[in-house]
């Protein structure tokens, strides 16, 4: 399947320019199109201002900004879109007739291979697909504002959308770092379906005199564990958008409860914003009414989304956490609150709204168990099983649940004689960004080391299901793989990467050592000196470096990944013990700088004899080593030196060292600092 590379965005307003900017940031060729030169120039200025701010915040360098802007070509007139464009995203006004005119022109000027997409938050995708003239090559997209920052995107295939068109667009969305929710074409899709009525319900509570706007916001923030309440959010995005959206849902879903509240209508008519005073203290009785109404509305509507098979429970929650930045999704909130209480709230709201709550909610309550969520999605095609770790809101971080589900899925796949290959993939921009650090911090503070040991030992068992599998095992490390995620990948036979691949072992800088094979497998793959370079100093590895060392076994273009997978088989020698490219700059430096005779100097923070501490590469290594926890650094070094043992013995040595490392003050300091986004201070204790 040929991947999308050239993209045109129709509309250079705030949304269109944001889509163009994000697409260019991820190294796609972009045409930004509008009717007149002044609007194209305005879009270019919006992007320029945004990127200038990013330079000031040290997100991008000046050179990177110049490269991003160079990928964007301004185009005046839809009729001038290049015929060979791979994907055209229409991002004009949310008006069906205007969009139809745009698509008529695009269908005439674009080549047969061009896929058309509409950025819409509400319009019927099937109708737009029919109007496009190429329904099989049409997909609905719902970018969330700001598209260069918000990681969520809803992808809505029309009934006629071909599998290839959908696959290409999903691949593009993932390539620009989006968390993708593929959902059915229903009004409001996923997030707006429950979020927009939530905004309107807050307006109704205000109109009933239950509390002030500031008080309602304060109660909502506490109930949903969010930073901004409904009125502050409407002020940020614009009350007219809220009014238009809620009226649309009310009409499409025949729910009068969602007709825009009168106070919202008056506000929009007067061109005002909500007044938010500083008095946020709300009487307890009023606070109970507010929280129960807002929670009940979300529970009830989320249940309908799942009952109508728009998407899964897990995707509803992902939408809330990634798109709205809620700490918990609706179904997680229901579990946290207690399902019986959540059911009461949902039924109460359903009565107000005039619709019936789906049966599955009450049926779940009857079981006496919470909603259970799946974070490992398995699909099988032609003997190839793909396991997607689907916890993108947490960068797929490994926690007890995901490790347990991963182990259970591997047991089933390993026992299936019809499967030849097992592929591990991650949702979102990361393969897996490591273990769930909060778990370790909570257990250390609770003096529950045994839980840390049991979790890690079980993790070893799960990774061994990959290590010892008779199937060909492949990790699609096409994004970020850190710590425990990289350790998971290294247990596989192959690791496929693209130019966006990034590897790192950050453990010594956060007070611990890699405990899931990270001190053992790298040395057996690329040799002890290169493993010291990677593990002890925690150096970031781009795709080329990871490939040169052999930690990445295949470096390809994203369009080549699918074709490569079926060609791979078990490796005759998984652990060669030398870099894949011994003559690479990194391999040569590692073999020299991290040689045995230099080790004691490096552990003591001293520049080894024969090296210039002012040399850029040397000073960078010394600086990285100086920021590690001394005990963790020495223990990691000792473990790497066990590369001559059988792998099982080396892995056991990791487990044997866990109590010592997690018993240090530096481990708690380093892990806590990571959560608190600060630099740790180590005391060598």
Average pLDDT over residues 361-366: 97
Q: Please check the confidence at residue 361 and state whether its pLDDT lies above 90.
A: yes
Average pLDDT over residues 113-123: 95
Q: So what's the pLDDT on residue 122?
A: 86
Q: So what's the pLDDT on residue 481?
A: 97
Q: Please check the confidence at residue 312 and state whether its pLDDT lies above 90.
A: yes
Q: Which member of 17, 121, 132, 637 is catalytic? A: 121
Q: So what's the pLDDT on residue 215?
A: 98
Q: Is 61 exposed, middle or buried (0-12, 13-18, 19+ CB in 10 A)?
A: exposed
Q: Please check the confidence at residue 619 and state whether its pLDDT lies above 80.
A: yes
Q: So what's the pLDDT on residue 428?
A: 86
Q: Which member of 44, 142, 165, 335 is catalytic? A: 142
Backbone angle region of 382, left / alpha / beta, with phi > 0 → left and psi within -120 to 50 → alpha = left
344 is catalytic: no
142 is catalytic: yes
The confidence band for 470, taking pLDDT boundaries of 50, 70 and 90, is very high
Q: So what's the pLDDT on residue 472?
A: 98
Token pair 């009409």 is found at 251
Q: Which member of 17, 118, 126, 192 is catalytic? A: 192
684 is catalytic: no
Average pLDDT over residues 592-600: 97
Q: Which member of 94, 154, 314, 669 is catalytic? A: 154
Positions of E strands within 315-375: none
Average pLDDT over residues 604-610: 95
554 is catalytic: no
Q: Are 179 and 322 in contact (CB under 8 A)?
A: yes
- Of the candidates 464, 476, 490, 466, which has an alpha carbon nearest to the alpha carbon of residue 565? 476
pLDDT digits (tens, 9 = 90+) for 257-294: 999 999 999 999 999 999 999 899 999 999 999 999 99
Q: Please check the confidence at residue 53 and state whether its pLDDT lies above 80.
A: yes
Share of the chain above pLDDT 70, in %: 100
- Pull the structure tokens for residue 194: 């429950």
Please state the pTM of the whole predicted model.
0.93
Q: So what's the pLDDT on residue 460?
A: 98
The confidence band for 623, taking pLDDT boundaries of 50, 70 and 90, is very high
Q: Please check the confidence at residue 647 and state whether its pLDDT lies above 80.
A: yes
- H/E stretch holding 180: strand 179-182
Average pLDDT over residues 165-178: 95
Q: So what's the pLDDT on residue 527?
A: 98
Give the chain's mean pLDDT.
Answer: 96
The confidence band for 2, taking pLDDT boundaries of 50, 70 and 90, is confident
Kindly list the structural domains of the chain, giving each domain's residue range(s) and its CATH number in brackets, ordered by start.
Answer: 6-182 (3.40.50.720), 191-367 (1.10.1040.50), 376-675 (3.90.226.10)
Q: So what's the pLDDT on residue 126?
A: 97
């Amino acid at each position: 399947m040929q991947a999308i590379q050239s993209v045109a965005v129709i509309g250079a307003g705030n949304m269109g320019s944001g889509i163009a900017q994000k697409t260019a940031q991820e190294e796609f060729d972009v045409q930004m199109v509008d009717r007149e030169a002044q609007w194209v120039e305005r879009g270019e200025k919006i992007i320029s201002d945004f990127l200038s701010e990013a330079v000031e915040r040290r997100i991008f360098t000046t050179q990177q900004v110049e490269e991003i802007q160079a990928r964007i070509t301004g185009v005046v007139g839809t009729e001038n879109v290049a015929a060979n464009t791979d994907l055209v995203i229409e991002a004009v006004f949310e008006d069906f007739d205007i969009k139809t005119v745009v698509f008529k022109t695009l269908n005439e000027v674009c080549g047969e291979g061009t896929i058309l997409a509409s950025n819409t938050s509400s319009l019927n995708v099937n109708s737009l697909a029919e109007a496009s003239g190429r329904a099989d090559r049409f997909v609905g997209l719902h970018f969330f504002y700001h598209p260069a920052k918000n990681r969520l995107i809803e992808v809505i295939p029309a009934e006629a959308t071909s599998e290839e068109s959908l696959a290409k667009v999903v691949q593009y969305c993932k390539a620009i770092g989006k968390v993708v929710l593929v959902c059915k074409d229903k009004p409001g899709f996923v997030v707006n379906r429950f979020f927009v009525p939530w905004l309107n319900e807050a307006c109704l509570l205000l109109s009933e005199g239950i509390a002030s706007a500031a008080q309602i916001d304060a109660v909502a923030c506490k109930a949903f564990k969010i930073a901004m309440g409904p009125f502050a959010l409407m002020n940020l995005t614009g009350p007219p958008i809220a009014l238009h959206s809620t009226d649309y849902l009310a009409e499409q879903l025949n729910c009068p409860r969602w007709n825009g509240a009168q106070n919202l209508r008056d506000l929009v008519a007067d061109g005002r914003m909500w007044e938010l005073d500083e008095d946020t203290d709300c009487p307890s009785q009023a606070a109970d009414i507010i929280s129960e109404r807002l929670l009940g509305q979300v529970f009830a509507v989320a249940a309908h989304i799942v009952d109508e098979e728009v998407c899964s429970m897990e995707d509803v929650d992902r939408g809330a956490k990634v798109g709205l930045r809620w700490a918990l999704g609706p179904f997680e909130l229901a579990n946290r609150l207690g399902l019986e209480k959540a059911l009461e709230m949902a039924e109460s709201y359903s009565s107000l709204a005039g619709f019936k709550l789906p049966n599955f909610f009450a049926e779940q309550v009857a079981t006496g168990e919470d909603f259970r969520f799946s974070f490992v999605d398995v699909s099988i095609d032609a003997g190839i099983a793909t396991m997607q770790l689907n916890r993108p809101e947490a960068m797929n971080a490994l926690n007890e649940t995901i490790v347990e589900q991963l182990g259970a899925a591997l047991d089933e796949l390993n026992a299936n004689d019809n499967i030849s290959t097992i592929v591990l993939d991650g949702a979102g921009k990361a393969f897996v960004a490591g273990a769930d650090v909060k778990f370790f911090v909570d257990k250390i503070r609770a003096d529950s080391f045994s839980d840390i040991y049991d979790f890690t030992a079980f993790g070893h068992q799960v990774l061994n299901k990959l290590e010892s599998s008779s199937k060909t095992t492949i990790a699609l490390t096409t994004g970020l793989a850190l710590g425990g995620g990289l350790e998971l990948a290294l247990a596989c036979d192959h690791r496929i990467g693209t130019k966006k691949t990034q590897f790192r072992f950050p453990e010594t800088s956060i007070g611990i050592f890699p405990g899931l094979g990270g001190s053992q497998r790298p040395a057996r793959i690329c040799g002890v000196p290169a493993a010291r370079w990677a593990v002890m100093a925690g150096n970031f590895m781009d795709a080329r470096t990871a490939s040169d060392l052999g930690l990445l076994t295949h470096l390809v273009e994203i369009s080549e990944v699918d074709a490569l997978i079926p060609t791979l088989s078990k490796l005759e020698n998984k652990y060669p013990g030398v870099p894949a490219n011994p003559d690479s700059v990194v391999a040569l430096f590692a073999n020299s700088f991290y040689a045995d005779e230099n080790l004691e100097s490096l552990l003591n923070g001293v520049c080894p004899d024969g090296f210039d501490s002012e040399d850029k590469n040397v000073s960078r290594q010394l600086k990285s080593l100086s920021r590690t926890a001394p005990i963790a650094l020495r223990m990691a070094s000792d473990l790497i030196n066990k590369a001559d043992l059988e792998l099982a013995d080396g892995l056991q040595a990791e487990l044997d060292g866990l109590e010592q490392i997690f018993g240090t003050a530096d481990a708690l300091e380093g892990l806590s600092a990571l959560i608190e986004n600060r630099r740790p201070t180590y005391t060598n204790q």
